[in-house]
Amino acid sequence: MNWRIVYLLVMGLVLAGIVHIAIVLMIPKYGTRGAWAFLSGRTELYRFTPLRPEQTGSAISEVDPFFSYGICRFDLEEAGLRLRGPETASFWSASVFDEDGAVVYSLNNRTSIENNLDLLILTPLQGLEMREAQIERFETSVVVEADIENGFVIVRVFQPDDSWTATNRNFLSETNCEKFVIDAG
């Protein structure tokens, strides 16, 4: 009887060792894939991508079924980002994330200028260049100076019921995500 218990304990330890070794070997593949790496295979740089309801679970964790979503990835080393959306009666929010998925900045239609989605994301150096150029056409834009290289913006639009589906789909499809390069003209 004692040998049977010892045998089961040894086999349990061997099995636990195999499981631990397998997990350690999977860390390089799964442990280094942050939010940026996950989205880079699903979205393009400087292109706003509205997500269909069946996609949101795979692209964003913890989705709210009362919201429609869209994503824009950017690389501030390449250029700044300008994100603009059309006027809408729906509640919307936009959150800027760094490449690890940490929130850098967030705004919504009530905290933006004139309730419009018009967001500029720049490095501190690009922000300084923009102020020096004194570009007036961006007076109603919300300017975010972020000390990050890569990131993404998630735009959420409230959808209280199915009658708002077309309105939200139009808002997300007309939202524009583009490179922003400072020029005085």
pLDDT of residue 60: 60
pLDDT of residue 100: 83
User: Which residue carries 């060792």 as its tokens?
Assistant: 17
pLDDT of residue 131: 82
Question: If you ran DSSP here, which 8-state letter would residue 45 be given?
Answer: B
29-65 burial: b if 16+ Cβ within 10 Å, else e = eeeeeebbebbbeebebbebbbbeeeebeebbeebee
pLDDT of residue 27: 79
The single-letter code of the amino acid at 84 is R
pLDDT of residue 31: 66
pLDDT of residue 28: 74
Give the tokens for residue 163.
């009658």
Q: Hey, what long-range contacts does 37-40 have (CB within 8 A, 24 or more apart)?
A: 39/71, 39/73, 39/152, 40/73
Model confidence over 59-81: pLDDT tens digits?
565 678 889 899 999 999 999 99
Question: If you ran DSSP here, which 8-state letter would residue 149 be given?
Answer: S
Which residues in the chain show pLDDT less than 50? Answer: 56
pLDDT of residue 162: 87
